[in-house]
């Protein structure tokens, strides 16, 4: 379906939460298009199996995105192994649902810690390297739930809106240093996170869920120099989900 064209040849990419789901697809595609890839995740078994499958230009490292020490060690390892870092995909995330009056403070806080603070810590750790080399691309994985409200998904929605703001504040700060920061807003993608949810519930104009590989094509665009003039921007990939008003 897609032609491989060395779109990120020679670059080094770091993907948080890349052991499975969309992150694993991004690892596959960034590698296929010429990058070396480091995958960080709490899922050690899945992460190591993925790296073993993809080969020598893929490294797995244990990373809990809520830990500043884990981030520091993961980025040190990346530089040690591949000599540089060019691309950060802040992809790790969790989703939990409950009516607002029953939403637990623990779940709220855990979701903020992983989805939003995790991305902040990743950016804070990686950005000095990108500024020093005067190039780099950061891709923050928000969601269509960062563009609109969604019943029960209160913490998730708050973090995905938060990622939009963080994207823009960092983007304007580092633009002059040649570093780009953008957010992506996937709709309904077939991954472990959405298993058990039927695409039919969502009234997607295109009438189907997307495969993770389809989102990887957007990540490749933003990771590569093809997107050289895009920063602080929001890239929606949702089969038309947020384009119209749903009618029952
Ligand atoms: P997934 O559950 O398959 O992947 C999420 C990954 O994040 C897992 O590998 C998980 O282990 C990892 N993770 C969770 N907590 C972590 C932590 N503390 N430290 C490091 N890694 C951690 O789900 P996915 O659908 O592939 O989700 C990837 C991203 O895409 C998430 O940010 C999600 O919110 C976002 N997203 C998903 C959809 C969808 O429809 N699937 C739509 C829009 C946005």
Instruction: Give the pLDDT confidence of 171-190 residue by residue, as tens digits.
Output: 999 999 999 999 999 999 99
Determine the pLDDT at residue 20: 98
Q: Is the pLDDT of residue 229 over 80?
A: yes
Q: Return the active site residues.
A: 156
Ligand 1 pocket list (CB less than 6 A): 16-17, 19-23, 41-43, 63-66, 91-95, 114, 141, 143, 186, 188-189, 191-194
Mutate to test the pocket of ligand 1, among 15, 17, 97 (most ligand atoms within 8 A of CB): 17
Sequence-ordered strand ranges (E) for the chain: 12-16, 36-41, 58-62, 87-90, 136-141, 179-186, 234-237
Taking residues 141-157, what's their average pLDDT?
A: 98
Please state the atom number of ligand 1 nearest to the C-alpha of residue 212.
Answer: 26
Coil, helix or strand at residue 68: helix
Neighbouring residues of 128: CB distance < 8 A, sequence distance ≥ 6: none
- Could you tell me what percent of the chain has a pLDDT over 90? 94
Taking residues 133-142, what's their average pLDDT?
A: 99
Determine the pLDDT at residue 245: 82
On average, the pLDDT of the chain sits at 97
Of all protein residues, the one whose alpha carbon is nearest to atom 8 of ligand 1 is: 17
Determine the pLDDT at residue 246: 75
Please state the atom number of ligand 1 nearest to the C-alpha of residue 20.
Answer: 9
Determine the pLDDT at residue 5: 87
- Could you tell me what percent of the chain has a pLDDT over 70? 100
Taking residues 61-85, what's their average pLDDT?
A: 98
Q: Is the pLDDT of residue 201 over 90?
A: no
């Amino acid at each position: 379906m897609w032609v491989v064209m060395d779109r990120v040849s020679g670059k080094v990419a770091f993907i948080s939460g890349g052991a499975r789901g969309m992150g694993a697809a991004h690892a596959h595609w960034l590698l296929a298009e010429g990058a070396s890839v480091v995958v960080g995740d709490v899922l050690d078994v899945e992460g190591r199996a993925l790296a073993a499958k993809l080969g020598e230009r893929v490294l797995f490292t244990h990373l809990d995105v809520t830990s500043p020490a884990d981030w520091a060690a993961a980025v040190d390892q990346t530089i040690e192994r591949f000599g540089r870092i060019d691309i950060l995909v802040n992809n790790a995330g969790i989703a939990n649902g409950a009516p607002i009056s029953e939403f637990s403070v623990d779940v709220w806080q855990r979701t903020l810690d992983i989805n939003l603070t995790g991305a902040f810590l990743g950016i804070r750790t990686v950005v000095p390297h990108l500024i020093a080399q005067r190039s780099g691309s950061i891709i923050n994985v928000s969601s269509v739930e960062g563009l609109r409200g969604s019943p029960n998904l209160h913490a998730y929605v708050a973090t995905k809106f938060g990622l939009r703001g963080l994207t823009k504040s960092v983007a304007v700060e580092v633009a002059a240093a040649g570093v780009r920061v953008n957010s992506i807003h996937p709709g309904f993608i077939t991954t472990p996170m959405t298993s058990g949810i039927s695409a039919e519930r969502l009234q997607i104009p295109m009438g189907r869920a997307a495969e993770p590989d389809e989102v990887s094509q957007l990540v490749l665009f933003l990771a590569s120099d093809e997107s050289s003039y895009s920063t602080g921007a929001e890239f929606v990939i949702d089969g038309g989900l947020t384009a119209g008003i749903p009618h029952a």
